[in-house]
Chains A and B, each alone.
Chain A
Amino acid sequence: MNSVFSNKKAIMIFVLPTLLLFCTIVLIPIVVSAYYSLLDWNGISKGTFIGLDNFTQMFQDPRALKSIYNSLLFAAASIFIQLPISLLLALILASSVKGEGFYRTVYFLPVLISTVVVAQLWSKIYNADYGLLNTMLENIGLSSLAQDWLGQKDTALAASFIPTLWQYMGYHMLLMYAGAKSISQDIFEAAKMDGASRMRTAFAITIPLMKPILKVCLVFSVIGAFKVFDLIYVLTGGGPLFSTEVPSTLMYTTIFGTYQYGYGSAISVFIILECLIVTVLINKFFKIE
Chain B
Amino acid sequence: MKTAEVRLRKKTTFIRNIIIQAFLIVVAIVQIYPLIWLAFFSLKDNSEIFSGDVLGLPDKFLWSNYSKALSDGNVLTYFFNSVLVTSISILLVLILSSMTGYAITRMNWKLSSVTMTTILLGMMVPIQATLLPLFMVLKNLHLLNTYWSLIIPYVAFGIPMAVFILGSFYKGIPREMEESAVMDGCGIYRTFFSIILPLVRPAIATVAIFTFLSCWNELMFAVTFINKESYQTLTVGMMSMVGTYITQWGIIGAGLMITTLPTVIIYLVLNRQVQQSMIAGAVKG
Contacts and interface: CB of A to CB of B under 8 A. Distances in A.
State yes or no: do A and B touch (Cβ within 8 Å).
Answer: yes
Interface of A: 1-2, 4-8, 10-11, 13-15, 17-19, 21-22, 24-30, 32-33, 36, 43, 89, 92-93, 97-99, 102-117, 120-122, 124-125, 129-130, 132, 135-136, 139, 166, 169-170, 174-175, 177-179, 181-183, 210, 212-213, 215-216, 223, 227, 229-230, 248, 251-252, 255, 261, 264-265, 267-269, 271-272, 275-276, 279
Contacts of A275: 123-124
A27 B120 CA distance: 11
B179 A21 contact: no
20 contacts: A14-B103, A18-B97, A21-B156, A106-B28, A113-B263, A114-B259, A116-B235, A121-B38, A125-B37, A132-B37, A170-B31, A182-B283, A210-B283, A212-B285, A227-B126, A251-B129, A268-B126, A269-B129, A272-B121, A272-B125
B63 to A, nearest CB: 20
A120 B134 contact: no
Interface residues of B, number: 91
B90 to A, nearest CB: 15
Given A15-B103, A33-B130, A178 B279 contact: yes
B34 interface: yes
Nearest to B220: A230
Contacts of A21: 96, 152, 155-156, 159
B24 A99 contact: yes
B159 to A, nearest CB: 6
A2 to B, nearest CB: 7
Say whether chain A's binding surface is mostly helix, strand, loop, or mixed. helix
A87 to B, nearest CB: 13
Contacts of A110: 31, 34-35
A251 B126 contact: yes
B282 A213 contact: yes
A13 B99 contact: yes
Say whether chain B's binding surface is mostly helix, strand, loop, or mixed. helix
B66 interface: no
A28 to B, nearest CB: 6
B129 A268 contact: yes
A107 B239 CA distance: 27
B120 to A, nearest CB: 8
A265 B129 contact: yes
A229 B128 contact: yes
A22 B122 contact: yes
B267 interface: yes
Given A22-B119, A22-B156, A135-B55, 17 more contacts: A6-B109, A26-B156, A28-B133, A98-B21, A111-B213, A112-B267, A114-B213, A120-B256, A124-B249, A129-B50, A178-B278, A182-B280, A213-B282, A213-B283, A248-B126, A268-B128, A272-B125
Contacts of A18: 96-97, 99-100, 119, 159, 163
Top 10 nearest A-B pairs (CB, nearest first) are A268-B129, A114-B217, A25-B156, A178-B282, A29-B133, A29-B130, A275-B124, A14-B103, A32-B133, A14-B99
Contacts of B6: none
A116 B279 contact: no
B264 A109 contact: yes
Contacts of A261: 132
Nearest to A33: B129
B124 A117 contact: no
A184 B77 CA distance: 50
A10 B103 contact: yes
Interface in B236-285: 238-239, 242, 249, 252, 256, 259-260, 263-264, 267-268, 271, 275, 278-285
Interface string B141-184: 10000000000110111011001000000000000001100100
Contacts of B235: 114, 116
Contact of B100 (A15, A28, A216): A15
A7 B106 CA distance: 12
B182 A175 contact: no
A42 B106 CA distance: 47
B4 interface: no
A139 B52 CA distance: 12
A10 B189 contact: yes
A17 B72 CA distance: 40
